[in-house]
Structure 1
Amino acid sequence: MSSAIDAAQAAIAEEFALFGDWSERYQYLIDLGRKLPPFPDAWRNEDNRLHGCQSMVWIVAEGDAQRLDFHAASDSAIVSGLIALVLRVYGGGHDAAEIEATEPDFIRAIGLGSHLSPTRSNGLAALLARIRDIARRAQAGERFDPG
């Protein structure tokens, strides 16, 4: 596994350990979501929409098997924060094989799974599945260009 991916997951766990309760953690998620890079309106289309989320979520990838980057956005504050966490782990231009092989251990480490509504849990699972699918497709030779 990539040391950068491991470091990102460890840093997330350390950050969340600083908060005393989940209301503080939710506020931190909201703050993280507000810091997501701008997501062009042209990318907010049905082809890039992530189904399986109650909120509107869009994700695009760029690159190939050697280096994949992800960009995503949501219309929900907490979901945007979840996206920010996922992109921190997987979105840093990692090798597609590393992305596919890396389990999202930060979710368990910060107790996120037991503090999300079922619809948000399903959406997070759908986001992670899409990222892994893109990584598999990149390994099969597909290139991604967000246009």
Structure 2
Amino acid sequence: MFVAVMAALLALYLVLVAQLAIRLILVDEPVAKGLGIALFVLPVVGAWALVVEVVFGFRSERLGRMLAAEGELPLAGLPRLPSGRVERTAAEAVFGRYRDEAEAAPGRWESWYRLGIAYDACGDRRRARGAIRQAIALERGSGERRP
């Protein structure tokens, strides 16, 4: 729900910036036209980034639901903080298992997805996103589609 609200607010902002850019482009001043053109780039880049992130979110959630249906989600039995996040020390203690699994089966999206979840629990968001992107690419390339 929060993501939908934030995406809607960003979309509204991008529309307002695009309108301002168009108004500046229509002014007969060269500086205003230049600012309008430069300002028009922001909504285009912002819309692209929004679409990329929403698509990533939907695809990664779909993979998570597929693993959950098979009872193969990682870190399920680890202790959690009151916020619901896995305790970092517990995640770091089992991280090697998921790293080794991904190295042993580099063509399986399931192992990359679990590695991404483990990276995230250990606090490495950049590598977590990379591993989950790899899982998405592998699953999409396999031609295998599960409900």
Which interval holds the TM-score relative to the shorter structure? 0.3 to 0.5
RCO higher in structure (CA 8 A, sep ≥6): 1
TM-score, normalised to structure 2's length? 0.33
More strand by share: 1
